[in-house]
Amino acid sequence: MSEPSLRYCLLVCDGPSCGVTHDSEKLVQLAQRTIDGRADLQARVTVRNYTCFGRCDDGPNVFVLQLEPGEDPYRDPDFGALETQRGFYPGMDEAKILRVLDRHCGADQVVEDLVETY
C-alpha cells in the first residue's frame, strides 16, 4: 500500500500591507484556479487568506503549511508550525506562486531559491 500524499494549506497574507498594498487576493484567485485545474492538487491543497505574518515589508507573503492527517485546513495554524516548517515564501508574484504550487505542493519539494526562514 502506498503512503498517503501530503496535504497542504496555502496561507496567503491578507493583512493591511499584503492585502491592500500588494493585492494578495489576486494570488488567492490564481492559486485556486490552478488547484481547480489540476487533479493532482485538488485533494491535497487548500488555499485561504491568513491575517498577517508580520513581515509586511516583504509581501505579499505566502506560507505552505504541511497539514497533519485529519487536520482542518481552515483552522489557524499553531505558531510553532510556522517556525518549524520550511514553507515561508515572501515577495510572491504570479510566476512564483505557480512554481510553489508545482514544486512544493505538487512534488513535495521546497522551492529553495524562494523559501525563507519564518
The pLDDT value recorded for residue 79 is: 84
Rounded CA separation 78/18 (Å): 21
For 22-68+78-118, CATH number? 3.40.30.10
What is the Cα 116 distance to its own chain's centre? Answer: 13
Strands 88-89, 7-13: parallel, antiparallel or unpaired by DSSP?
unpaired
> Given pLDDT bands bounded at 50, 70 and 90, which one contains residue 6?
very high
pLDDT in tens, 34-88: 999 999 999 999 999 999 998 988 999 999 999 999 999 999 888 888 899 999 9
The pTM assigned to this predicted structure is 0.92
Rounded CA separation 74/57 (Å): 26
Note whether 103 and 109 are within 8 A (CB).
Answer: yes
> How much is the CA Rg of the chain, to the nearest whole Å?
13
Query: How would DSSP label each residue in 57-100?
Result: GG-S-EEEEEEPTT--TTSPPPHHHHHHSS-EE-S--HHHHHHH
